[in-house]
A and B are shown apart, each in its own frame.
Chain A
Amino acid sequence: MKLTKSFNRSLWVFHLNTGSCNGCEIEIVATITPRYDPERFGMKLVGSPKHADVLLVTGPVTKKMAQKVRRVYEQVPDPKLVMCIGTCGQSGGVFYDSYNLDGPIDQILPVDVYVPGCPPRPEAIIFGVVKALEKLERLEAAQ
C-alpha cells in the first residue's frame, strides 16, 4: 500500500450508517462540535467516500446494507482505513444473532480500528482516530 503525503496532514472521514440505532451518530456529531473540534487537526467529515481517507462505519450491517457497504468501501480511494464505531459493528450488539444481519462489519470489510461502546463517548472516538494515525505511521515506517 502506497501512502500519499496528504495522510500526514489530515484525515478526511466519511461516515456510513449500516443500520445503526442513531446513538453512535449522535456521538459522532458531538465529536465534531467546537467542544472537541477535531477539525483543528485536519480531521473532518466529508460528503463523499471519494474524498475520504477513513471510512467510519456504525451499525451491525443489515442484509439490505451489506452490498451498499461494499460498494461505498470500494469508492474510497486507496490507501484507506476502516474505523468501526460502536458495539453493534463489532458483534451485532443489541442486535446480536438477528435474522436480518449480514454483519458484524468484519464479515464484510477489513476493519483497522474498533471503538467499543454503546455508544462510545467522543473522547473514545478521538482516541480511535489517534490509534488510526498510529497504524498509518507504522505502515509508513514499514515502507
Chain B
Amino acid sequence: MDLTAPVLTGYGIWAPVAWLAAFVAATIVVYILWKTGESSYKKGTEQGRPYLSGNAEPEKGAVHIRASNLYWGFLQALKGYYDAIVPMHTGVLTDYMVWFVAVTAVLLVIIGVLS
C-alpha cells in the first residue's frame, strides 16, 4: 500500500503530500511572524504577567470562577435550604456514614410502621 497516494473517499480526498506541503507552508509563515516579534521581552518577569493596573497577580485559585458561581441565582433563591444543608456537607466520610445509618434507621422504622 502506497502511504503517500491520495485516497478518494465518498466524501472527498485525502492527499498526505498536499497536506504535508500545506503544513510546512503554515509553519514557515508562523515562524516568520514569530521572528518579527519583540525579542527583548523578558520571560519570568513582570513583562510576562497580565496587566492588572499595577496590582499584584493573585493566585490562580483566587481568580478561578467556580462552578457554584454559575448557580448563584439558584443558590440565592433557595438560600434557606442551602444555609442548613451546606454546613452538614463536611467532606468527612464518617460523618456521611452516620447520616446514612441514621436515615436508613428512620426509613426502616417508617416502613415497619406502615407495613
Quick one: CB contact mask for A48-76 with B, threshold 8 Å, 1 for yes?
A: 11100000000000000101110110110
Asked whether, in the complex, the Cβ of B54 is within 8 Å of the Cβ of A77, the reply is no
Quick one: CB contact mask for B97-113 with A, threshold 8 Å, 1 for yes?
A: 00000000000000000
Asked whether, in the complex, the Cβ of A71 is within 8 Å of the Cβ of B40, the reply is no
Q: Of the candidates A4, A75, A79, which one forms a contact with B51 in the assembled complex, judged by CB atoms under 8 Å apart? A: A75
From B38, B41, B54, name the one whose CB has the most chain A CB atoms within 10 angstroms.
B54
Report the Cα distance A29→B40, complex, angstroms.
31
Report the Cα distance A78→B41, complex, angstroms.
7
Summed over the interface, the residue pairs from A and B with CB atoms below 8 Å come to a total of: 35
Tell yes or no: A35 within 8 A of B by CB: no
Nearest CB to that of A66 among chain B residues? B54
| A50-B40 contact, Cβ under 8 Å, with A74-B45, A74-B46 | no
B residues less than 8 Å from A69 (CB atoms): 54
Asked whether, in the complex, the Cβ of B47 is within 8 Å of the Cβ of A75, the reply is yes
B residues less than 8 Å from A67 (CB atoms): 54
Nearest CB to that of B46 among chain A residues? A74
Asked whether, in the complex, the Cβ of A50 is within 8 Å of the Cβ of B54, the reply is no
Quick one: CB contact mask for B36-62 with A, threshold 8 Å, 1 for yes?
A: 001011100111010101111000000
- What is the distance, in angstroms, from B69's C-beta to the closest C-beta of chain A? 26
Asked whether, in the complex, the Cβ of A68 is within 8 Å of the Cβ of B55, the reply is yes
Asked whether, in the complex, the Cβ of A68 is within 8 Å of the Cβ of B40, the reply is no
Nearest CB to that of B54 among chain A residues? A68
A residues less than 8 Å from B47 (CB atoms): 50, 74-75, 77
Tell yes or no: A2 within 8 A of B by CB: yes
A residues less than 8 Å from B49 (CB atoms): 75
B residues less than 8 Å from A75 (CB atoms): 46-47, 49, 51
What 13 new A-B contacts, CB under 8 Å, besides A48-B51, A68-B54, A77-B40? A4-B38, A16-B54, A71-B54, A71-B55, A72-B51, A72-B54, A74-B45, A74-B46, A75-B47, A75-B49, A75-B51, A78-B40, A79-B40
**22 A-B contacts, Cβ less than 8 Å apart?**
A2-B40, A4-B38, A16-B54, A50-B47, A50-B51, A65-B54, A68-B55, A71-B46, A71-B55, A71-B56, A72-B51, A72-B53, A74-B46, A74-B47, A75-B46, A75-B51, A77-B40, A77-B41, A77-B47, A78-B40, A78-B42, A79-B40
